[in-house]
Amino acid sequence: MNIENAKKIFGWMPESELTWLATQAAVYKNIVEIGSFMGRSTRALADSTRGMVTAVDTWAGSDEEQHRKLLEGKSPDWLFEQFQANMAGITNLAMIRKPSLEAAAEFTAENRQFDFIFIDASHDHANVKADILAWGPLLTEGGTLCGHDYHNGAPGVVQAVNELLTGFKTFESIWYVIG
């Protein structure tokens, strides 16, 4: 488990949650992250697994105030370029630059599955619900489906998780369920 490189990357995930992700990654070998931003959590996953991490993102930012402010005046590729720089030296990472549901549909058509699925893309109810419904079937038996921002500041995440999942647990603002 290693979060030292991840801690150097800008993002909103606290060290305790990075440690939780890294601990999980050490157990799993086929990981997908939906919503990678600058790569803080991606780096924790990739540095800690003996397997492969697939990062799925448009790298266009989301329609949230924090993202709009950060990306204002920057080129459309700026966020992706930041992500790539933050992933320097990683050899167990695949980057899929497309919308979440498009990537999930392609993986479904290929009968691809993952043993660890981490959802941290758009935080509104409709998108979180769509991500859980699209990615959940790609989880291997005994794998972990999880996501970020289960807290009062992200009511869409809380609502979607509560509607769709039973028996889920939380670690700070990470929700998770074993498949």
What confidence tens digit (pLDDT) does each residue in 19-47 have? 999 999 999 999 999 999 999 999 999 99
Residue in 107, 144, 105 with CA at minimum distance from that of residue 20? 144
Question: Residue 58: pLDDT above 90?
Answer: yes
Over residues 104-161, the pLDDT tens digits come to: 999 999 999 999 999 999 999 999 999 999 999 999 999 999 999 999 999 999 999 9
Alpha helices (runs of H) in 8-141, residue ranges in sequence order: 15-25, 40-48, 65-71, 78-86, 100-109, 125-135
Indicate the average pLDDT of the chain.
Answer: 96
Q: Which domains does the chain have, with CATH numbers?
A: 4-178 (3.40.50.150)
Angle between helices 15-25 and 40-48 (to 10 degrees): 40
3-state secondary structure of 4: helix
- Which pTM value belongs to this model? 0.96
In this prediction, residue 65 has a pLDDT band, given cuts at 50, 70 and 90, of: confident
pLDDT confidence of residue 70? 83
Tokens of 112: 């691809």
Q: Positive or negative CA dihedral for 16, 118, 9, 22? A: positive
Q: Are 151 and 14 in contact (CB under 8 A)?
A: no
pLDDT confidence of residue 66? 79
Please return the burial class of 130, using the count of CB atoms within 10 Å of its CB with bins 0-12, 13-18 and 19+: middle
Tokens of 155: 């009511």
CB atoms within 10 A of CB 34: 25
